[in-house]
């Protein structure tokens, strides 16, 4: 799994967990439900939301919470109904929660394949607040899915106009275009930024743009400079640049050099594990993935969990892999690749 891409790319159907807990002790079961969602226990969350309803807690928060839980369970139509209910329960005055729920609703529409409805929802958000950069970006994602390339480009241009020096966002736009097969257009955006801003960019920003442009030699030079500052991301990009040229030994050395500084990092462990898999060092790969899984509050738990299963498969421990895959699919039920892999494991 390309975890670097997962980290820096806002995928077409990304939704952001905003305000996970409700204020006040009167919404205790709602808070417990949201905590269950954070723990990936979506069915348990729904039980808490039922209890919250029986206790007379905030009905809008209950509907919102149920919608998020149903998204976790990949039941997108149920999620849509819950988010719509939460919006209908509004008192008519636009509040921050209305933006939040509309973002969730748009994500649920997109997940359900209802891209036109998702686009209309982002339109509604922008009608309420025309400077919502995230809405322009996500609408551009959806418009690519609707084969509205020119309109998507207009949205991306608007984002870059509003955030001219946000290179994280620039890379997100590249990755979306790349995912839709328009890599050349994505590279145009990157090259334009490099031509315009190279003098003001940090070595890290230059290096990662060179990386996505496929200019790995220039990426090496810039990222070697950037890693002297000690940041994990510079090591990640430098290692990935070497991976891209097939030099997994040097990439692994880069990741180990960071870890030897005594700064455990889930993504570094994950990329190290991927390198070890490529080298045929399956036990070392498993050790790296499990070290990453032991780190709390990391945002790549899904990638690490999947890669741990892959390592067990390479080691020939199909029974353990199948048990872990069963748990994985309960947490991430819409991973179609994992579903196919589970079918394979069930026959071993």
The pLDDT of residue 298 is: 87
- Judge whether residue 15 has pLDDT over 60: no
Who contacts 36 (Cβ-Cβ below 8 Å, separation ≥6)? 42, 44, 45, 48, 69
- The average pLDDT across 60-78 equals 97
CA angle 251, 255, 259 (to 5 degrees): 165
The pLDDT of residue 339 is: 86
What is the spatial distance between Cα 48 and Cα 235, in angstroms, rounded to a whole number?
42
Cα–Cα distances in Å, from 322 out to 13, 242, 344?
A: 28, 32, 9
Q: How many CA atoms lie within 13 A of 238 on its CB side?
A: 26
pLDDT band for 4, please (50, 70, 90 cuts): very low
The pLDDT of residue 2 is: 42
- The average pLDDT across 274-285 equals 98
Which superfamily does CATH assign the domain made up of 271-348 to?
Tetratricopeptide repeat domain (1.25.40.10)
pLDDT band for 202, please (50, 70, 90 cuts): very high
Taking only the tens place, the pLDDT of each residue in 280-338 is 999 999 999 999 999 988 889 999 999 999 999 999 999 999 999 999 999 999 888 88
- The average pLDDT across 96-125 equals 96
The pLDDT of residue 336 is: 85
Of 133, 196, 144, 201, the residue nearest 167 (C-alpha):
201
- The average pLDDT across 47-68 equals 97
Q: Dihedral of the CA atoms 299, 138, 67, 74 (nearest 10)?
A: -70
Taking only the tens place, the pLDDT of each residue in 207-260 is 999 999 999 999 999 999 998 876 899 999 999 999 999 999 999 999 999 999
pLDDT band for 19, please (50, 70, 90 cuts): very low
More confident residue, 115 or 14: 115
- The average pLDDT across 113-136 equals 96
More confident residue, 345 or 55: 55
The pLDDT of residue 340 is: 87
The pLDDT of residue 14 is: 41
- Residue owning tokens 């967990």: 17
CA angle 204, 210, 212 (to 5 degrees): 105
What is the spatial distance between Cα 211 and Cα 207, in angstroms, rounded to a whole number?
6
- What is the distance of C-alpha 198 from the center of its chain? 28
- The average pLDDT across 120-146 equals 96
Q: What is the DSSP letter of 163?
A: S
- Judge whether residue 341 has pLDDT over 60: yes
- Judge whether residue 92 has pLDDT over 80: no
* Mean pLDDT across the chain: 91
The pLDDT of residue 25 is: 53
- The average pLDDT across 149-165 equals 97
- Judge whether residue 121 has pLDDT over 70: yes
Q: What is the pTM of this model?
A: 0.86
């Amino acid at each position: 799994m390309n975890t670097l891409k997962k980290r820096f790319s806002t995928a077409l159907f990304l939704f952001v967990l905003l305000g996970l807990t409700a204020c006040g002790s009167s919404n205790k079961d709602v808070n417990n439900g949201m905590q269950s969602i954070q723990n990936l226990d979506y069915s348990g969350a729904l039980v808490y939301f039922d209890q919250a309803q029986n206790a007379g807690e905030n009905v809008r928060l209950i509907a919102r919470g149920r919608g998020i839980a149903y998204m976790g369970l990949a039941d997108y139509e149920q999620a849509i109904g819950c988010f719509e209910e939460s919006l209908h329960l509004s008192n008519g005055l636009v509040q921050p929660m209305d933006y939040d729920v509309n973002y969730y609703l748009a994500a649920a529409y997109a997940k359900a394949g209802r891209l036109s409805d998702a686009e209309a929802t982002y339109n509604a958000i922008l009608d309420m607040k025309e400077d919502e950069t995230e809405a322009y970006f996500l609408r551009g994602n959806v418009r690519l899915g609707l084969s509205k390339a020119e309109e998507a480009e207009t949205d991306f241009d608007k984002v870059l106009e509003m955030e001219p020096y946000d290179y994280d966002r620039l890379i997100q736009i590249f990755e979306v275009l790349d995912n839709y097969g328009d890599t050349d257009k994505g590279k145009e955006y990157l090259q334009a930024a490099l031509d315009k801003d190279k003098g003001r960019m940090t070595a890290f920003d230059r290096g990662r743009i060179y990386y996505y442009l496929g200019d790995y030699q220039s990426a090496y030079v810039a990222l070697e400079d950037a890693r002297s500052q000690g940041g994990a991301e510079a090591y990640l990009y430098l290692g990935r640049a070497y991976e891209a040229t097939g030099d997994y030994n040097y990439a692994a050395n880069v990741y180990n050099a960071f870890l030897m500084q005594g700064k455990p990092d889930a993504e570094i462990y994950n990329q190290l594990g991927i390198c070890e898999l490529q080298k045929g060092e399956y036990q070392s790969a498993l050790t790296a993935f499990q070290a990453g899984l032991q780190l709390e509050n990391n945002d790549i738990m899904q990638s690490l969990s999947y890669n741990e299963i892959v390592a067990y498969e390479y080691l020939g421990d199909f029974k353990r892999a199948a048990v872990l895959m069963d748990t994985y699919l309960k947490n991430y039920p819409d991973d179609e690749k994992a579903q196919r892999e589970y079918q394979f494991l069930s026959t071993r």
